Amino acid sequence: MNEPAVTGTEPLAPEGFARRIRLQEYALVGIVIALIIAGAITKPDAFLTSDNLFTILTQASAVGVLAIGMTFVIASGGIDLSVGSAVAAAGIAGGVLADGESGTLFILGALGFGVLVGVLNGAFITLGRMPPFIATLAMLAIARGLALRMSGKTPISVALLDAVRWFGNGKVLGIPAPVIVFLAITGLGWVLLNRTTYGRYVVAVGGNKEAARIAGIRVQRTIFSVYVLIGLCAGISAILLSGRLASASPVAGNLYELDAIAAVVIGGTSLAGGKATITGTFLGVLTFALIFNLLNLLNLPTEFQQIVRGVIVLVAVIAQRREN
Amino acid sequence: MNQVASEVLPLLRVVGLTKRYPGVTALDTVDFEVRPGEVHALLGQNGAGKSTLIKCISGFITPSDGEIYFDDDPVPPGDTMASLSHGIATIYQELDLVEELTVEANVWLGHESRNGPMLDRSTMKARTIELLERLNHPLIDPGARVETLAPAAQQIVSIARALSRNVRLLIMDEPSAVLDDKEIDVLFGVVRRLTEAGVGVIYISHRLEEVARIADRVTVFKDGKTVLKGAPANTDPDELVRAMVGRRLDRMFPERAEATDRVLLQVKDLTRRGAIHNVSFELRAGEILGIAGLVGSGRSELIRAIYGLDPVDSGEVIVAGSKVVPGRPDIAMSNGMGFAPEDRKSQGLLMDWTSARNVTIADLRSFVRHLLLNLRLERKKAKTHLESIGAQEGAVDKQVRLLSGGNQQKVVLARWLLRSCEILLLDEPTRGVDIGARAEIYKVIGDLAAEGLGIIMVSSELPELLGFCDRILVLRDGRLVRESPAGEITEEEILNLSIRAQATVSEDS
């Protein structure tokens, strides 16, 4: 989707910071390729099948959608710790509203509740002048509690809601629906970040609030909006997850916020704000999904998996430091 | 005190001190001395060399040439620890206390008393109380957090910290800037007690009446040189002011056309408590209006309020027939205003972004085609505008942090050129800009005025204001003390209005 370069006269030089981000993206592309090669060598029959690749992307989709939203939040200089709980609460809200009968109501309920959580987060942060870390930490607890309360601590079945099940199991031209949704959200996120005034404003606010304000950007409004955006992503994520598991669980999405943040950070988006890349986030999500899949295929214990994920975060962030 | 002081050896002696930066000599073979028990005041306009001198003395910067002697011992250049161990302590204008820590912790920060590996709290507390009593401030609680104290009390804590290191020479850089009259009295009491104990004091201030009250001798700086050396503090204030003015600034101002009569902006009784009081004026199309005054006189606060950046308590700003809404710079901007802040790095620019993106950020909507940004058009427009004001070649794709101060300022100006605004507010537009780029920036601003823009320019450089502006407003303590055509006021008058108490001003305030 790059602009075609005008050859000879004025090549569109990649900008300084964009070039650095790209360097890191290349490094991540290297990691992803290395993981794929490792998988192809160790499990030649199971790993490189289209079924397995779709499985990887399907498993990544719920966290992946959150990570796209999280990219905007982190780019604006904020953080959202409540998304994991918001996924559970949105799923339960949808389940309660649908009452086992209407898939449409489930979808509207989940999206609506996700947005509501985002609106509350945004209000506490902008109108209440609370640090995002604190406001969303509080919301992490509240949303989880609401999910448990609304569900009576038991999962709500959505097995009979065909529309919801489609988002978990449906296929279009052989491609699983959750994969399509994840890729579509990634594409939309990319366009929003790189090709709209909104994306530019978000990064400007994260980079320097005062400079953004002087340039006429509504800083508080922009900050508010990114939490609503990630709330919507939490709603979408809840639909994908419930569809796949055939039920909405009050304990779903546990620690998803950390998975999403980790994917964004290893992708090269700066935790200090002002620098963001959707491509990097996508590659970050892919990296974690590949590791998860590979270690599963190799029957390695899950604790080993956690250690590997932690090490990758450390290595990626150290690489980021070095580039700066 | 003078007679006693003059018979003893100087505490500090500076001989032939020179500090050269590329393109400018900040200090030019300066001789200077401080005797034990005297207060030696430094006077001079911004950039005259006072700060460079005290930074050399305290070891923060290394002089290019010359020697510093303390007790007739040479002090190694550029060594802050050596200066500290000689008993030279500096209190800067911006207090360097850790606000979250207690008074006691701040006083002993970096040289805490210890009992083995543990902090010796009781000794430190006792000695803190002792120091505060010595400063006649036993009421300050050593356990109070510094942020809970009034500015004057914080100033006392800074002094206590200096004394805890057994200070022999105390350097105070505009200590009174944050204090009210009563607090200044308290501070002067402390200074007198110190000098009675034989401590030498270097006192930098812009306020002549203070200098007359506290100092024994005065040295005046201009263009890096001492123009009046160690004169008695009761020297006629007019003579001091005359010594400070008349700096050279090469003829670099472009020819200017006459301003029109069309009023672009009206400021009516604008007040923001503690910053600006009842300021009223008008700005006309084609006019360059200069705002003079000391740092802290309300200059920056005034233009920030005009742009809607800060809340105001009363009064209004009317532009293009509508009122500016305080706290809404976006509305000011859509009413045709542009603003270039004092600190480009922290307020004006996104340092990680390219020049192109910094230029277009305030007018991004004009590049939207079918809901999306046309990046090619964006870069092309940015490039055109950067080139039109002579920014460095290739600047368009460079991160602004890699550009010189002059080019950064051009990026800010290009932003407002692109928006084709009607009113431009510039806060210290030539600060940190080298001489060559200055002339170019003056030309750009002059051209804009010729096109009919109204420009308000805050500056600490009096020759710049007088040589370049049509009209000058002088602010002191947040009040407009004089409004005058630039041709009918002198540097000396502006300086007098800025730094001297009521005496000369009664008609306007």
Cβ proximity of B255 and B234 under 8 Å:
no
Adjacent-strand bridge partners of B32: B14
Claim to verify: residue B427 and residue B414 sit in the same structural domain: no
CB contacts, 8 Å: A13 with chain B:
397
Instruction: Report pLDDT for B23.
Output: 64
Any idea how long chain A is? 324
CB contacts, 8 Å: A208 with chain B:
346-347, 349-351
Q: Establish if B347 belongs to a structural domain.
A: no
B387 CB within 8 Å of a chain A CB: no
Claim to verify: residue B138 and residue B264 sit in the same structural domain: no
Pairwise CB contact (< 8 Å): A214 & B307: yes
Adjacent-strand bridge partners of B28: none
**Residue B275: Cβ within 10 Å count:** 21
- Average of per-residue pLDDT across B387-394: 88
CA distance B436 to B67: 32
Sheet architecture: strand order including B200-204: B88-91, B169-173, B200-204, B39-43, B217-222, B225-232
Q: Which of A236, A85, A113, A106 is nearest to A158 (CA)?
A: A106
What mean pLDDT, rounded, does chain A reach?
88
Identity of the residue numbered A109:
G
Pairwise CB contact (< 8 Å): A275 & B397: no
Pairwise CB contact (< 8 Å): B351 & A218: no
Q: Establish if B348 belongs to a structural domain.
A: no
Nearest beta carbon to residue B339 from set A208, A212, A214? A214
Pairwise CB contact (< 8 Å): A216 & B309: no
Binning pLDDT at 50, 70 and 90, where does residue B189 land? confident
Identity of the residue numbered A4:
P
- Average of per-residue pLDDT across B312-324: 89
Work out the percent of chain B whose per-residue pLDDT is above 70: 94
State which of B420, B440, B459 marks the end of a domain: B420
Residue B286, by phi and psi: left (phi above 0), alpha (psi -120 to 50) or beta? left
- Count of CB contacts below 8 A, A vs B? 84
Claim to verify: residue B367 and residue B430 sit in the same structural domain: no
Q: Please give the structure tokens belonging to residue A179.
A: 């994969």
Instruction: Report pLDDT for B4.
Output: 47
Cβ proximity of B282 and B432 under 8 Å:
no
Q: Which of B52, B6, B65 is nearest to B33 (CA)?
A: B6
Give this prediction's pTM: 0.79
CB contacts, 8 Å: B396 with chain A:
none
CB contacts, 8 Å: A17 with chain B:
352-354, 399
- Average of per-residue pLDDT across B70-77: 90
- Average of per-residue pLDDT across A242-262: 93
Q: Which residue shows structure tokens 């400018």? A: B24
CB contacts, 8 Å: A2 with chain B:
none
DSSP state of A117: H
State which of B227, B244, B261 marks the end of a domain: B244
Task: Write the pLDDT tens digit of every residue in B449-474.
Answer: 999 999 999 998 888 898 889 999 99
Q: Establish if B344 belongs to a structural domain.
A: no
CATH code: domain of residue B50: 3.40.50.300
Instruction: Report pLDDT for B112.
Output: 85
Instruction: Report pLDDT for B135.
Output: 77
Instruction: Report pLDDT for A323.
Output: 55
Instruction: Report pLDDT for B81.
Output: 85
Binning pLDDT at 50, 70 and 90, where does residue B185 land? confident
DSSP state of A250: T
Residue A44 has pLDDT above 90, yes or no: no
B373 CB within 8 Å of a chain A CB: yes
Instruction: Report pLDDT for B501.
Output: 59
Distance of CA B119 to the CA centre of its chain: 39
DSSP-derived secondary structure for B338-362: EEE-S-IIIII--TTSBHHHHHHGG
Claim to verify: residue B299 and residue B327 sit in the same structural domain: yes
Residue B349 has pLDDT above 80, yes or no: yes
State which of B193, B211, B244 marks the end of a domain: B244
CB contacts, 8 Å: A213 with chain B:
309, 329
Instruction: Report pLDDT for A81.
Output: 97
Claim to verify: residue B206 and residue B272 sit in the same structural domain: no
Looking at the structure of chain B, the number of domains it has is: 3
Binning pLDDT at 50, 70 and 90, where does residue A6 land? very low
Claim to verify: residue B56 and residue B158 sit in the same structural domain: yes
CA distance B410 to B336: 19
Binning pLDDT at 50, 70 and 90, where does residue B313 land? very high
Q: Establish if B454 belongs to a structural domain.
A: yes
Give the lowest-confidence range in A20-34, A57-71, B322-336.
Answer: A20-34
Claim to verify: residue B185 and residue B73 sit in the same structural domain: yes
Claim to verify: residue B406 and residue B446 sit in the same structural domain: no
Containing domain of residue B287, as a range? 250-336+421-509
Claim to verify: residue B426 and residue B331 sit in the same structural domain: yes
Identity of the residue numbered B403:
L
Binning pLDDT at 50, 70 and 90, where does residue B248 land? low
Task: Write the pLDDT tens digit of every residue in B394-435.
Answer: 889 999 988 888 889 999 999 999 998 999 999 999 887 776
Greater pLDDT, A125 or B392: A125
Q: Establish if B346 belongs to a structural domain.
A: no
- Average of per-residue pLDDT across A21-38: 77
Q: Which residue on chain A is closest to B339 by alpha carbon? A: A214
Taking only residues 294 to 333 of chain B, the set having a beta carbon closer than 8 angstroms to any beta carbon of chain A reads: 307, 309, 329-330, 333
CA distance B160 to B182: 19
CB contacts, 8 Å: B348 with chain A:
211, 214
Q: Which residue on chain B is closest to A207 by alpha carbon? A: B350
Interface test with A, best of B335, B347, B350 (most A CBs within 10 A): B350
Residue A4 has pLDDT above 70, yes or no: no
Pairwise CB contact (< 8 Å): A196 & B415: no
CB contacts, 8 Å: B372 with chain A:
191, 195-196
Claim to verify: residue B358 and residue B477 sit in the same structural domain: no
Instruction: Report pLDDT for A263.
Output: 94
Pairwise CB contact (< 8 Å): A200 & B365: no
Claim to verify: residue B317 and residue B394 sit in the same structural domain: no
Task: Write the pLDDT tens digit of every residue in A47-85.
Answer: 888 889 999 999 999 999 999 999 999 999 999 999 999
B393 CB within 8 Å of a chain A CB: no
Identity of the residue numbered B89:
A
CB contacts, 8 Å: A215 with chain B:
333, 361-362, 415
Work out the percent of chain A whose per-residue pLDDT is above 70: 90
* Closest Cα in chain A, distance from residue B271 (Å): 21
Cβ proximity of B363 and B417 under 8 Å:
no
Q: Which residue on chain B is closest to A205 by alpha carbon? A: B350
Q: Which residue on chain B is closest to A204 by alpha carbon? A: B350
Q: Which residue on chain B is closest to A192 by alpha carbon? A: B372
Pairwise CB contact (< 8 Å): B349 & A217: no
Pairwise CB contact (< 8 Å): B352 & A197: no
* Closest Cα in chain A, distance from residue B365 (Å): 7
Residues 6+ apart with CB under 8 A from B387: none
- Average of per-residue pLDDT across A270-277: 86
Pairwise CB contact (< 8 Å): B362 & A215: yes
Instruction: Report pLDDT for B2.
Output: 46
Claim to verify: residue B143 and residue B63 sit in the same structural domain: yes
* Closest Cα in chain A, distance from residue B82 (Å): 34
CB contacts, 8 Å: B352 with chain A:
16-17, 207, 274-275
Identity of the residue numbered A132:
P
Domains of chain A: 20-25+46-323 (1.10.3470)
Q: Please give the structure tokens belonging to residue B371.
A: 């809901």
Residue A106 has pLDDT above 90, yes or no: yes
- Helix ranges (H only) for B389-453 are 405-418, 435-450
Residue B3 has pLDDT above 60, yes or no: no
DSSP-derived secondary structure for A8-35: TTB--PPPHHHHHHHHHHHHHHHHHHHH
